[in-house]
Structure 1
Amino acid sequence: MNLRQVEAFRAVMMFGTMVAAARELHTSQPSISRLVTELEERLQFKLFVRGASRLTPTDEGSAFYREVEHSFSGLAYLNQAAHEIRVSGTGRLRIAAIPAIAGLLPRVIKRFKKRFPQVAILLEMRSEATVRRWTSVGYCDIGYASSIGESPNVHAQQLYQLPGVAVLPTGHALAAKNRVSLEDLRGEPFISLSAVDRTRRLIDEAFERADVSRQLSIETPYSMTLCALVAQGMGVSIANPLSTLDAPPGLIFRPLTCVIPFFGFTILPTEKVPSALAKVFVEMTREVISEEEWQGRLHAE
């Protein structure tokens, strides 16, 4: 028995005659007749009683047709499942990101879930090195990091390049200024990103060029922790402007008079083809970052 024979039998049952079945399957009436005969020989029972002008299904033929319809319903389900996988991937998306963009991704996820409400999302906030490592081995579908590093098996695309902002506790004297210079931060207790962070090196170099000394009091690898420490009055800092999104209370953000860039990259594993879901999520992330919602927060304090 082969699929072509079964398709011919099903078409005859559905359309009543071999001529109509042949028209539906874009073949000839003799071809349909031959296929049905071959199927009967394979099954070893008659499917139709052949009259002068019509075909009448036998009891065996009717019973077999019911089973055929069950099988074709399964094929229809498989076709639908294949379409959903083609459009929506596997229905699960695993994302790893550095905490610096913690305020951005929930906005992307909200937009994404409106379009794909049934898709499960696993969001992991991890260190820079962990995000790159997980992406390189295919543990996550998408990674978001602030640098590319030396990670193998990843493809990186720049997501943003944004100017850093001064982070001040509420009530700080510098909050009265529209813009803060590096000179304004001279002698201030300074909460810094960890020494291995690429942006930390850019900040240090900017202060060296300006010949401004700081009191390096606390180091942390995470922007969220940095902002929380500033909010507690432990010092001042310079941070990614995305930190202004969903920042804790007790903070004032001000633009700097110089440009210290903060970078963000979308990284994808090269060892597997990005799913349709991953591609949509990446594009939505670009849409959200381009809206520059964070800019309004700089001047709203």
Structure 2
Amino acid sequence: MNLRHLTFRLLEVYVAVVRAGNISEAARRLHLTQPTVSLQLKRLNETVGEPLLVSHKGQLQMTDAGLALYNACQELLGRFQELDDTLSELQLGHQGRLSIAMVNTAQYVLPKLLGPFSQSFPDVDITLEIGNRAQMLTRFNQQLDDIYIFSHPPSLEHAAAARFLRNPLVLIAPTHHPFHKRSQVSLKELTQERFLLREPGSATRMLFDSWLRTQGIQLTKSMQIASNDAIRVAVEASMGVAVISQHVIPEGQKGIAILPVESLPIESHWHFIVRRDRRISKTAKLFLTFVDAHLERYLEPDFACHEISALLDEVIGF
């Protein structure tokens, strides 16, 4: 048998004839004429070099060679059907890779969305990169990921941003703080407190420093701590007070209270960021579309923002 003369179409015609039991019915199913199907069978017989079908009581039946070829066709065509299914899934974004890079604080929010997404689309292989703002900006500039998450979006030419969640910054203190039971606290009353601050360059620190300037306040005592978890522990241990994202505070957290400080909370938002100069991947589009449809289900409804559709409209046609 000369395999170079075999074609995918010849094998399809042969399988159709075997399943139909006669040429006329196979021709009807294939939307071909009977002479065309007969010619294809003749070419296939000549290529194999053995008779493939014999007529018995008006029905075509396979010879031993015909059965061997049919089994091979079933396997081959089945593999191509699997390939077609896989390609369809890839085109829809239901399979493939998705890389998301996010600043540290987003780790308190994103898993609530990634968990349900992973359950709905288990064949999407997700990679998460977590770091400080400077590290995430470096990844953005090097185009290492599909989606980036910032609470303060970078002012870069190729950065397209969409808000998806409110991120209020609140002031926390230990529950035994004398101001805990107050209905309102002025910021000036807190200026003698030690403030526990994130490192310079973090979005929380940038927003808090900007807010202090607008209030005309200068802190007298402060301590720099490089993680939100460490700040929470330090506040609970009465080392000071802090302004952090409300999302960082676990529900039912004991030992920590949010003080009702005037002019607080500081309003900010979580943003999805993609590059304008890069075609968005199918998996990234699938994830963003999923999030936009399920924000209120998996996150606090009052905090949800719906700007993702506009973001996709902006970058999908690149």
Q: TM-score range by the shorter chain?
A: 0.7 to 0.9
Q: Find 1:266's aligned residue among 272, 278, 282.
A: 272
Could you say what secondary structure the match of 2:240 adopts?
Answer: coil
Paired amino acid for 2:282: S
Mapped to 2, the partners of 1:26 and 1:244 lie a distance apart of: 66
Q: Find 2:41's aligned residue among 36, 46, 64.
A: 36
Deviations 1:247-294 (A, max 9, x none): 864211234421522232112355343333533554367444452489
**Aligned residues of 1:192 and 1:216 also touching (Cα < 8 A):** no
Mapped to 2, the partners of 1:121 and 1:254 lie a distance apart of: 38
Q: Find 2:232's aligned residue among 216, 227, 240.
A: 227
Mapped to 1, the partners of 2:117 and 2:183 lie a distance apart of: 36
Change over 3 Å in CA distance of 1:202–1:106 after alignment to 2: closer
Mapped to 1, the partners of 2:27 and 2:198 lie a distance apart of: 74
Alignment partner, residue 188 of structure 2: 183
Deviates more, 1:285-294 or 1:176-185: 285-294
Paired amino acid for 2:212: F
- Structure 2-normalised TM-score? 0.79
Deviates more, 1:119-128 or 1:20-29: 119-128
Q: Please give the residue correspondences for 1:130-209 in structure 2 after superposition, counting only pairs within 5 Å.
A: 130-150=135-155, 154-209=159-214
Change over 3 Å in CA distance of 1:221–1:292 after alignment to 2: farther
Deviation at 1:68, TM superposition (A): 0.7
Paired amino acid for 1:271: R
Alignment partner, residue 18 of structure 1: 23
Alignment partner, residue 111 of structure 1: 116
Deviation at 1:176, TM superposition (A): 1.1
Deviation at 1:71, TM superposition (A): 0.7
Q: Please give the residue correspondences for 1:231-242 in structure 2 after superposition, counting only pairs within 5 Å.
A: 231-242=236-247
Could you say what secondary structure the match of 2:224 adopts?
Answer: strand
Change over 3 Å in CA distance of 1:25–1:60 after alignment to 2: same
Alignment partner, residue 291 of structure 1: 301
Alignment partner, residue 307 of structure 2: none
Deviation at 1:167, TM superposition (A): 1.0
Alignment partner, residue 275 of structure 1: 282
* Structure 2: segments with no counterpart, 5+ residues: 1-5, 305-318
Mapped to 2, the partners of 1:216 and 1:283 lie a distance apart of: 42
Mapped to 1, the partners of 2:135 and 2:9 lie a distance apart of: 53
Mapped to 2, the partners of 1:266 and 1:239 lie a distance apart of: 20
Mapped to 2, the partners of 1:14 and 1:238 lie a distance apart of: 72
Could you say what secondary structure the match of 2:67 adopts?
Answer: helix
Deviation at 1:221, TM superposition (A): 4.5
Q: Find 1:69's aligned residue among 69, 74, 93.
A: 74
Deviations 1:28-81 (A, max 9, x none): 212111111122222222222357843332221121111111111212222333
* Structure 1: segments with no counterpart, 5+ residues: 295-301
Change over 3 Å in CA distance of 1:160–1:240 after alignment to 2: same
Mapped to 2, the partners of 1:285 and 1:177 lie a distance apart of: 37
Deviations 1:69-112 (A, max 9, x none): 11112122223333443455335543322222222123223333
- Structure 1-normalised TM-score? 0.83
Mapped to 1, the partners of 2:27 and 2:72 lie a distance apart of: 22
Mapped to 2, the partners of 1:265 and 1:37 lie a distance apart of: 64
Deviations 1:202-257 (A, max 9, x none): 32343334333323421234333332322221111211121223686421123442
Mapped to 1, the partners of 2:157 and 2:213 lie a distance apart of: 33
Mapped to 2, the partners of 1:281 and 1:124 lie a distance apart of: 20
Deviation at 1:171, TM superposition (A): 0.5
Change over 3 Å in CA distance of 1:227–1:236 after alignment to 2: same
Mapped to 2, the partners of 1:115 and 1:179 lie a distance apart of: 45
Deviation at 1:9, TM superposition (A): 0.6
